[in-house]
Amino acid sequence: MRQLSARETVREILAKVVGELAAEGLVGVVPIDSIAVERAKRPEHGDFASNVALVLAKPAGKPPRTVAEAIVARLPRGGSSPIAEASVAGPGFINVRLHPTFWQGMLSAILAAGDDWGRSPARNAPKILLEYVSVNPTGPMHFAHGRHAAVGDALARLLRFAGYPVTCEFYVNDAGNQVQMLAQSVWTRYMDAARAADPAVPAADFPENGYKGEYVRDFGRALFARDGARWVGVAPPADIEPVRSFAIAQALGMIRATLERFDVTFDLWQSERALHEAGDVAETLAALEAKGYIDRHDDAVWLRTTALWGDDKDRVVVKSDGLPTYLLADIAYHRKKLARGFDELCDIWGSDHHGHIARMQAALKAFGEDPARLRVILIQIVSLLRDGKPVAMGKREGEFVTLDDVVAEVGRDATRYFYLMRRHDTPLEFDLEVAKRQSLDNPVYYVQYGHARCAALVRRAAELEAPRPPMSTELAAELVLPEELAILRRLADFPDYVADAAAAREPQRLTTYVSELAGEFQSYYTRLQKVHDDTILPQERHRTGDWRAGWNWHKTAARLCWVEAIAQVMRNALGLLGVSAPESMPRSATITKEDDS
């Protein structure tokens, strides 16, 4: 049977009392899911607060405090009830404090659940298609694209852990001018390779707006190695499609390899060109025209976005040269997504696409769909720093810092964690030197060291042959320090953090959670010795005479179980971020041997 979280436990108790009052005609009936229970903002107010009385008061024609007092009077206390205190605050808020034995009892549940602590069962939720990264297949991934990849992948892990059905998709923009320009650029570099092999081959002028960079030369050399002189000429071949397909395949190969190294995978790769070839784009245009949302003038075809959502002007969907715009293809793509049976379309875009959201939602509205089915997460820019100073791009034209460059320098874990430290809609400064630092002022090192310290304690306990009785109520009762109970509360709250982060589509909440957990554990470790004059394990100064007989092994066993639970929740949280939880790490200069024994 699934263990209820602390918040769910309080919600169920409140629902039971409200149901009793409703049966007596004192208040109306409300669904349990509509009873809001939140973590109290201030510890002195208790553990949780609810506004259920304010919700019930108006329909019942009673003052909120009167309803709140009636609920509080019925709340069970003592005996097997987890509630220690309950009170009414302000206009009718209900504050609840749970008994320490409840938090102590959650330790067994956490350890028993293990890797599944925080996981929700598969829910009857909308089928989500999560589309992210989707960089143009015209070269390697820029370091800024890494934030899209980290956020998207962490969100997918989070949603699945929270029970949502999710499919991840990469939209390959393999149609349009950009890939055409890539083909011409690669052909020019192919000609350079051919001329290097045979000086009689004519020189080819590089396109004015062509793609530069060493990778394009690599593509050109690879094409010549494959096809020899087949495409040699004074101009690009009339049918440049084979060159274009080759160039796209090369670029996609680079992108896939980068994503694989970054531990990011997709269920599906959808080709934009395939939509054109299947007739989806043409059919979408015809459907929009049949609905009266298309105008034709100035040798172009226009979507009446002014009529659909009050845009400042209508938008071109087919240019005067007869080629469809990206907007039309994107409408067809999202229409196809819905036709494939997905209920929610969650897209991750760059912040410069803000204006595109309303147009796409308007297009869904044109086809009779709820615009809210499209949910867009905008990613703000990333600034790359080194010791607080901006990192200069390569001096040679066409060069830039790639995601591979950053991962190679600071590691995958640090890269992912840094990308996920801030809300996606907040600009991010990524300092390479801080990310590499093996000290407690490096956020990812700080968290990973917390996990490694837990593992070190368990290993050290085994070396000392510390008795490890099975977890029991009596054992958990040894955890009585305020710091121990506070961390138990945080561990017990993890399922609620997961649920809330998933519902908000904000995976960065988990970096906040695990960072605060690591901070509380670090503070506890310090205070245990300096304030409480105690240690988890007997240190060298304790191990004199008949020290084994005098040591409180029962308390040590309880604390070791507690430490294992901390490590477990850290692993679970870091796993959702795509970050590893090492068992050991290089010692920070700020931690002494005695501190870590």
Q: Distance between CA atoms of 366 and 360, rounded to whole angstroms? A: 10
Tens-digit pLDDT profile for residues 51-64:
999 999 989 999 99
pLDDT above 90 (res 125): no
Q: Distance between CA atoms of 281 and 262, rounded to whole angstroms? A: 33
pLDDT at 126: 84
Domain-by-domain residue ranges, the chain?
6-98, 177-245, 438-577
| pTM for this predicted structure | 0.94
DSSP-derived pairing of the beta strands 48-50 and 344-350:
unpaired
Q: Distance between CA atoms of 468 and 97, rounded to whole angstroms? A: 31
Tens-digit pLDDT profile for residues 312-361:
889 999 999 999 999 999 999 999 999 999 999 999 999 999 989 988 99
Q: Distance between CA atoms of 78 and 101, rounded to whole angstroms? A: 11
Above pLDDT 90, what percent of the chain?
Answer: 87
Stated as kind and residue range, the H or E segment containing 258 is helix 241-261
The neighbour count for residue 556, using CB atoms within 10 Å, is 20
Q: Look at residue 300 and give its three-state secondary structure.
A: strand
- Mean pLDDT, the chain, as a whole number? 93
Tell me the CATH class for 6-98.
alpha beta
Instruction: List Cα–Cα distances, 566 to 73, 368, 452, 459, in angstroms.
Output: 36, 49, 11, 15
Tens-digit pLDDT profile for residues 372-423:
999 999 999 999 999 999 997 654 566 789 999 999 999 999 999 999 999 9
The neighbour count for residue 224, using CB atoms within 10 Å, is 22
pLDDT at 586: 78
pLDDT at 42: 87
pLDDT above 90 (res 69): yes
Tens-digit pLDDT profile for residues 17-65:
999 999 999 998 888 888 899 999 888 889 999 999 999 998 999 999 9
End-to-end CA distance of the chain: 38
Nearest to 497 by CA among 162, 72, 178: 162
pLDDT at 44: 87
**Residue spans of alpha helices (H) in 367-465:** 403-410, 412-419, 432-436, 443-463
Q: Distance between CA atoms of 499 and 431, rounded to whole angstroms? A: 31
pLDDT at 595: 45
Q: What's the fold here for domain 438-577?
A: Isoleucyl-tRNA Synthetase; Domain 1 (1.10.730)
Tens-digit pLDDT profile for residues 432-463:
999 999 998 999 999 999 999 999 999 999 99
DSSP state of 177: H
Same CATH topology for 6-98 and 438-577: the answer is no
